Amino acid sequence: MKVAVLCEFSGIVRDAFIRKGHDAISCDLLDTEEEGPHIKGDCLEYDWSCYDLLICHPPCTHLAVSGAAHFAAKRKDGRQQQGIDFFMALTKLNCERIAIENPIGIMSRLYRKPDQIVQPWQFGHPESKATCLWLKGVKKLLSTDNVKDLYDKLPKNKQQRLHYLPPSKDRGKIRSITYTGIAEAMAEQWG
């Protein structure tokens, strides 16, 4: 199967599909952090119609509820509308099977409710990071390694590790990376 993972610099989802024997490629404005098939560029400039599955990770900086305190400024200078337009362009790509992921945010109101919300603790990572999935031609992910009991025993700063990351130039990149357990579930269940 041909899979394109759009807006992914880490290679985590791409490589999970490759390990399952699929022809997978990632595309992002950034270079890939892991050696592998990757296009550095704007994913909207490419024709993805020959692909069987697109997994899209649009930037959430201007869409996520975690940035709601800054929404007025983002609306005023156009950043939020650019984020909305980019998200909506991904929904219109020419492919029968598309999955778009993003944190809880305004797209649930402006586009539609997500088909599913997953947590890392459902896939072997004792942390929380509610991730919405909008699915077209793709089934909901089934939990593969539920560690909720372990998660519940951890202190809040461990449960919400990404929330408690200190400020840094790489904080946004770190927070955007897909958990390997979720990537493996995507490759196993959608591949």
Q: In this predicted structure, what is the pLDDT of residue 73?
A: 65
Residue 63 placed within a domain: yes
In angstroms, the CA 126 to CA 67 distance is 24
Residue 64 placed within a domain: yes
Specify the residue for token string 């200078």.
77
Structural domain boundaries, residue 183? 2-120+131-145+179-190
Q: In this predicted structure, what is the pLDDT of residue 60?
A: 87
Domain count of the chain? 1
Residue 29 contacts residue 40 (beta carbons within 8 Å): yes
CATH of the domain at 9: 3.40.50.150
Which tens digit of pLDDT belongs to each residue from 116-135? Answer: 999 999 999 999 999 999 99
The distance of Cα 88 from the centroid of its chain, to the nearest Å, equals 15
The residues with which 92 forms a beta bridge, in sequence order, are none
Residue 174 placed within a domain: no
For the stretch 79-88, contacts whose Cβ atoms lie closer than 8 Å and that sit 24 or more positions apart, written own/partner, are 80/106, 83/58, 83/59, 84/110, 86/44, 86/58, 86/59, 87/58, 87/63, 87/111
User: What's the pTM value of the predicted model, to 2 decimals?
Assistant: 0.92
Q: In this predicted structure, what is the pLDDT of residue 71?
A: 62
* 58-82 per-residue burial string, b: 16 or more CB within 10 A, e: under 16: bbbbbbbeebeeebeebeeeebbee
Residues of the chain with pLDDT under 50: none
Residue 39 placed within a domain: yes
